[in-house]
Structures are given as structure tokens and as C-alpha cells.
Amino acid sequence: MVKVIVNDKIMDRSEAAIDIEDRGYQFGDGVYEVIRVYDGVLFTGDEHLERFYSSAEKIKINVPFQKEELFDLMNQLIQENKVKDGSVYMQLTRGASPRNHVFPGKDTTPVLTAYTKEVARPVESLENGVAAMVADDIRWLRCDIKSLNLLPNLLAKQAATEQGCYEAILHRDGLVTEGSSSNAYIVVDGKIKTHPATNLILNGITRQVLIRLCEQNNIPFFEEAFTLEDLRNADEIFVTSTTSEVMPVVKLDGKEIGNGKPGELTRKLQVLFVEEFESVKKAHSM
């Protein structure tokens, strides 16, 4: 039987129950993380947990666990479910209390839930690239918080799917922010650009890994906003996320980018990224 976490307990999924007045369910009043598991090992677990605490703090939820406890719980869950290549989803809500917009009192404790799943690397898409479309960024002004409120992201992703696209790349008044569930980048003349980590985007963990890899390998990287025109005329486009890794975008709004194949620099970043998680796996097995 597959196991899940509810608060500090690991239990059979069939035993897990959440109150219908949980504020996550009623208001989306909570935060979450998705952490990649490669060969049974959490990849960038520290960074994800750090962002989890930071998101919770920004919406004034106290995480009722120490970071080490959470780390241990997630690792136990991975082991119990024998996850090989997959992910851990974890969320924390403000807890269950009679529906009221005002925060509940201190006697209401936050509710942690987590589960795992097997997720194969999207090798075919990583190899050939994917199509994307452009959409209005209609989200709020605190996109730096990984909150449960994802409705605008869902609408954009659904529109993309209906257009046969993998991702919707969002813009505010012509300035590209990010993807509906990814960070977005362009390559122009050998230089990579992505929106700076402000309140208008989620500072992706994959984005942070990529910036470090670029620094270490002397690849020019600029945290600078770019326009829709820049996007349409880019030599290369790619998006990154925990499950998409470094995903080449080879078609935008039906038009080919470059020669319609993943670009050279995107390929190089893919290689560096794979080396990175392979080295984490290796370090863990020693």
C-alpha cells in the first residue's frame, strides 16, 4: 500500500483524511514544494526546503517542524514507497477552522501533507524540444511565493495544452516573466537571459542551479527582463523546472525558433545539468 504523510505521521494513503474546512482546500491558503528524486535520492532537497520555509513565512504560516525533521520524514517516505525516479509533493496549509477570511487563532495548527510518485525523465521532449505559446500573465504580484493558488497558472497551461503546446510563456505588458510552471530563458548571441528573481516570478531551484553552473563554466548569464519581441527573435529558447529540467522550446506560437531544433547552448546546459544530478547521486551512494 502506498504511503503518505499527514502531519508527523506516515500512513497508508487510504487512511489519510483532511478536514473539509482545511484552509488549503477552501482558500488555497498554503504553500507547497515539488522535489525531484533521482535514483532514490532527493535532488536539491535543502534548497527546496529553504524555499518552503521562506514561502510559509511570507504568508505568515509557522512551519511546525525543524528542517531536519522534514528532511527525515521525506526521506522515510521515499524509502517506504521505494521511489526510484520520481518526486515528492509536500504542502502546508494554515490548518482547519470554521471558514473565515481572517486567520484562525493560535489553537489552529498548520497541516502538512506529502506524497511521492514515480516520474520518468521526459527524455523524448528533452531530446527533440517542445512547442510553447505566449499568454498574458494574469497572476497576482507575489509570484515569488510558491502558494497553492495556481488558478491563473492552470488556465495558461490548459490553453497551451489545447493549442498542442507543452508550456505557456507568460508576459506582463510585453515583458516576459516565466512559464506557467517553469522559468523561461532566451539565448541571443551566446548570452542567456532570464527575468530577475523579483516578486513577478518564482525563483526556481532549477534556475538557481543553472545560474551556478553557468558561473562555474563561464557561460554568460544575465538576470535581465526581455520583451516578447526578444523572445520571438531569440536564437534559442528554453524553460526549466524540477521535472522538466532544461527543456528546449523549438516552436513558439507555431513558428520555429532557430532551425527548429534544440540550440547548441541549450544542449550544453542539458549536459551540465545531467552531470550535476549524476554527481549528487554518486556522492550519495559512496
Ligand X SMILES: Cc1ncc(COP(=O)(O)O)c(C=O)c1O
Q: Is 200 in the site for ligand X (CB under 6 A)?
A: no
Considering 3, 82, 84, 146, which one is annotated as catalytic?
146
Q: How far is the CB of 202 from ligand X (least distance, A)?
A: 4
Whether 67 is catalytic is no
Question: Side by side, which strands form the sheet with 111-118?
Answer: 9-12, 3-6, 111-118, 86-93, 30-38, 41-42
Binder to ligand X among 133, 205, 211, 269 (CB under 6 A)? 205
Write out the E strands in the chain.
3-6, 9-12, 30-38, 41-42, 86-93, 111-118, 130-136, 167-172, 175-179, 183-188, 191-194, 221-223, 236-241, 245-252, 255-256
Residue closer to ligand X by CB (options 183, 270) is 183
Which bin fits 88, alpha (ψ -120 to 50), beta or left (φ > 0)? beta
Q: Is 145 in the site for ligand X (CB under 6 A)?
A: no
Residue 210's nearest CA partner among 202, 198, 219 is 219
Q: How far is the CB of 49 from ligand X (least distance, A)?
A: 12
Note whether 194 binds ligand X by CB under 6 A: no
Q: Is 178 in the site for ligand X (CB under 6 A)?
A: yes
- Binding residues for ligand X, how many (CB under 6 A)? 13
* Phi, psi of 108, deg, nearest 5: -90, 120
177 contacts ligand X (rule: CB under 6 A): no
Give the whole-angstrom CA distance, residue 46 versus residue 113: 18
φ, ψ dihedrals at 278, nearest 5°: -65, -40
Binding mask 216-255 for ligand X (x = CB under 6 A): ------------------------xxx-------------
CA distances from residue 160 to 106, 227, 252 in whole angstroms, order as listed: 42, 20, 11
Q: Is 186 in the site for ligand X (CB under 6 A)?
A: no
| Cβ at position 28, least distance to ligand X in Å | 14
- The candidate with the shortest Cα–Cα distance to 244, out of 169, 177, 183, is 183
Residue number, 81 or 182, with CB nearest to ligand X: 182
Does 137 contact ligand X by CB under 6 A? no
Q: How far apart are CA 208 and CA 270, in angstroms?
A: 14
Under the binding rule (CB under 6 A), the answer on residue 183 touching ligand X is yes
Shortest distance in whole angstroms from residue 182 CB to ligand X: 5
Which stretch in 9-17, 83-91, 197-205, 276-284 sits in contact with ligand X by CB under 6 A?
197-205
Q: How far is the CB of 217 from ligand X (least distance, A)?
A: 19
Cβ closest to ligand X, residue 205 vs residue 237 = 205
Question: How far apart are alpha carbons 53 and 275 in whole angstroms?
Answer: 28
Judged by the rule CB under 6 A, the positions of this chain that interact with ligand X are 153, 178, 181-183, 202, 204-207, 240-242
Give the residue numbers annotated as catalytic, written as ranges: 146
